[in-house]
Chain A
């Protein structure tokens, strides 16, 4: 038995050994190919090991990653970087570069690819990102999970998982998670169908809301927590979808009507923010000072419709622009709406405004038409400088496939966004560094312990939201909330300045 164990240990040790002789490798002009493409990117100082796989043909492979005084020598082609050593390396390279050297052995001869660098930005990214993992089904859903990923390592935990409540026939869809000001103290998400409602957690308390009340056209849909007040701005949407039977774009999701409303977490009062029968208003998002609410609005007469028009077959004409409305947190009074980015005038449609936490920039999702750019190959991310009011595509991060959801880190230096660039079907989560000059850098894919995970995962990443800490609630505790009697909201009149 001892002998077997010894042989086993030796075998394992040899399997983990770095091959020798690579130091004297000859240079090779062949282009290095690695997956994910972690070359020439800017990474946060606290990111998890950016493991990758060398795709070039190799009988053996060694990778060296160096900072000023440390070098990690790792076996390839799947490069798995130890977490502690990686962070030590990043800490030393903070504000500087990491140098990568890749060696491959072919026919007994070692070859060296041209080295590449990655820059380590001094600004950290928020420690957690929460997303929904969902198979991109359309009207049915199986296992849907809201998951929190610790960005400094690979740990991932469920915030909530619908399998905890699923029945043989009835299932629950969960969506639209939202946190207040990068903290997990207060958050909300919706559940549809089985035990449906809006779950609002504030500190150690949580309640299930029956939202629709008065003359509201729907339950609460797209949320945005006020950064400081116990308020959530919601859109109310009568959403519809249809399919393209034979088209590279599979699906259209659109609204038949939509409004904006304000929900008071303490009193359960709901009031309209914008309730215009000639416009579709959706995707509200608060400015960091809480004194402005950005949103998307499509003016029906601009595409030949009015409040009685069924827009189902006009979806390619519906175009949204970005508006803003002032808000006084003290009096809770609203000002007059104004246009921030008149995308419709340029035959574009801009949705999902996201102001940077420093208040300087505004990200929007822009496509040729409609509001749901995750299903549009034309979907790109644009940026507006709120000082100069200049709007342009955030080019380094856009592709000819859909870029859609996006989120700023709390220090305004990192943008998380989702993209279908890999295969056109499954959205993946990317990060890009946004420097103080207002430039975005080459994006990188969310690091995974096994780089091939992205090939095997047949789920999409939805709605990445940064937080500074981890949610304290467990899925089982949240599930209990869905079995409580829902709290009914009540409608009150809005206040206008």
Chain B
């Protein structure tokens, strides 16, 4: 390539977008992928055609552990694709700008991803499609340079499909289509012969799908989708559009000869603008990925810092914030000072909150069986991931299932760049007594003493948490935080009082967090029961200031006429937005799905 400007522009844009704005996405993709050198693992990729793309994709995805490296790798691959495209389509000088159009759309394929990434069924999506396009165009280039106009061209075309299909799936058919289009455009070979070769070659996969000896596990209805992410982004077709645009850009290049000299640069700019414009800029999605990453690193301050920036969080962000608050010992103290989290997940697909965050949330709030179950459920329905195996190992470790933990840790070991995590948990496995002095276990083990009632099979995350913590007696101070948090969230006054007085009367524990004290004052105040009010006042002797504040609040509430009026709500928010009282009266509906 002689023209370095498009290369520089593309590389800069790609790296800025991927490493600068989508670093957490890349880390997520690495965590939601898996690699290993085991025979069964490698062989599993070849049970279906196109497995090589997924395998290489899974291998390269490991490098996304370091987002800059992951971004550089993808950018390099896409630059290589542009180079091949330029050669294959004879794009020189200013026209070299056009060679980057498919690459721009393949960057968009990654930056457009939304919550449907939690429902992946294919491995290595960050790289596999770029590799597919690279393979297809490389085969096309090979044809153009070596076989165009020769008698063996038709044989090559058929061979591309027949031999390429097992490795790169239907990208081999894409290559053959490019060959036929080229022969049609150039007239150097009989396009009809080549088309016949393409059809003949493409018939082979269909034939194979009917035979018992070849690909015994292939689903014949999806034979021509092999290698494409056809099982992914269900309900979110928009996420597939960049691949169609990339293919359309390739096809458009057949007509590049007729483009005027002024066309390439504006075309590049327009496609670059499309890339930036269609990139998923959803702030909640970005924040969620940051919280997920910080949670994996047990960086609770970071979780809270990210949460603080979210003005209209989703429930997923709220529950992440809650586990961070619990770890910081501030759950009932601070959880009601946050927006209610009614923002929906911005995706056209039906991605439930439980899919998005239940694995870490269940572990870190002490529901380890549920965490283990979620890992199992999700990894059977979608891909197996390092993320799930880690939480399975952590759940097994804390339960003392050491043989099981060892198996899971071994899987994680098979992935590069997991050394820090492996050292930590292998250390606990080798010396379980070291768990006694670790903060993770100090906060979680007491929660495991809390048995929880039986749980339904299918339930949403917060409903499961409410079911777990929202019905039994007082156990210990750690479980009490979660019990009260969820009871207060539900505004379940009778159970609040039961727990509150059970702890006070039977365990003689008199200290309360501010949030619980506010709730107690409020429930006593609104009950109209003088005896109850007196009992509660007796338990709140150290909260005299709080009780003094409650009087004006109650008066204001009595005077307020329309509690649904936004102005009224804002007035109360400005004065009492950091209290449970505001939550109790103005946050009416917590969606738990």
Contact = CB atoms under 8 A, between A and B. Distances in A.
A266 interface: no
Contacts of B367: 245-246
Interface of A: 135-143, 158, 161, 163-169, 171, 241-248, 250, 252, 312-313, 422-425, 450, 453, 455-458, 474-477
A476 B216 contact: yes
Nearest to A245: B452
B454 A313 contact: yes
A444 B464 CA distance: 41
Contact of A423 (B366, B370, B404, B453): B404
Given A243-B457, A246-B448, A422-B403, A168 B234 contact: yes
Interface string B300-334: 00000000000000000000000000000000000
B218 A164 contact: yes
Interface stretch (B86-94, B377-385, B429-437): B377-385
A423 B403 contact: yes
Interface string B21-41: 000000000000000001111
Contact of B380 (A137, A247, A457): A137
Nearest to A424: B401
Given A141-B381, A252-B454, A477-B212, A243 B399 contact: no
Given A138-B457, A245-B370, A474 B212 contact: yes
Contact of A139 (B47, B121, B458): B458
A246 B452 contact: yes
Contact of B377 (A137, A244, A312, A422): A137
Contacts of A161: 216-217
24 contacts: A135-B379, A137-B376, A138-B377, A138-B457, A140-B381, A143-B380, A163-B217, A163-B219, A164-B219, A165-B219, A242-B454, A243-B455, A244-B452, A245-B452, A245-B453, A246-B366, A246-B468, A250-B373, A423-B403, A424-B403, A425-B401, A455-B410, A474-B216, A475-B217
B456 interface: yes
Q: Point out which of B48, B218, B369, B447 has the most chain A C-beta atoms below 10 A from its C-beta.
A: B369
A257 B456 CA distance: 18
B219 A158 contact: no
Contacts of A166: 219
A65 B261 CA distance: 79
Contact of B456 (A171, A242, A248, A423): A242
A250 B372 contact: yes
Given A245-B367, A424-B401, A168 B448 contact: no
A241 B403 contact: no
Nearest to A157: B216
Contacts of A425: 396, 401, 404
B407 A243 contact: no
Contacts of B456: 242-243
A135 B452 contact: no
Interface in B433-473: 447-448, 450-458, 464, 468
Nearest to B448: A246
Nearest to B40: A456
Contact of A247 (B39, B366, B451): B451
B368 interface: yes
A450 B216 CA distance: 23
Interface in B216-252: 216-221, 230-232, 234
A475 B216 contact: yes
Contacts of A137: 373, 376-377, 379-381
Q: Point out which of A137, A165, A252, A422 has the most chain B C-beta atoms below 10 A from its C-beta.
A: A137
B210 interface: yes
Interface of B: 38-41, 47-48, 121, 210-212, 216-221, 230-232, 234, 366-370, 372-373, 376-382, 384, 396, 399, 401, 403-404, 407, 410-411, 447-448, 450-458, 464, 468
A135 B451 contact: no
A474 B209 CA distance: 13
A92 to B, nearest CB: 32
A457 B453 CA distance: 32
Nearest to A243: B455
Contacts of A139: 377, 457-458
Nearest to A134: B380
B455 A245 contact: yes
Nearest to B389: A458
B407 A423 contact: yes
Contact of B381 (A142, A243, A422): A142
Contact of A140 (B369, B372, B377): B377
B468 A169 contact: no
B88 to A, nearest CB: 32
Given A168-B234, A245-B367, A423-B404, A136 B217 contact: no
A96 to B, nearest CB: 35
Contacts of A244: 369, 451-452, 454-455
Contacts of B379: 135, 137, 142
Nearest to B447: A246
Contacts of A247: 369, 451
Given A137-B380, A455-B407, A242 B455 contact: yes
Given A458-B407, A477-B212, 14 more contacts: A135-B376, A137-B377, A141-B380, A142-B382, A165-B219, A242-B456, A244-B452, A246-B447, A250-B369, A250-B372, A312-B454, A423-B404, A424-B401, A475-B216
Contacts of B378: 140
Contacts of B39: 450
B205 to A, nearest CB: 14
Given A168-B234, A423-B403, A245 B369 contact: yes
Contacts of B457: 138-139, 241-243
Contacts of B212: 474-477
B407 to A, nearest CB: 6
A40 to B, nearest CB: 22
Given A423-B404, A475-B212, A246 B368 contact: yes
Instruction: Identify the 10 closest CB pairs spanning chains A and B, nearest first.
Output: A245-B452, A474-B212, A142-B380, A137-B380, A242-B454, A423-B403, A423-B404, A243-B455, A135-B380, A140-B377
B184 to A, nearest CB: 33
A476 B218 CA distance: 9
Contact of B234 (A169, A313, A477): A169
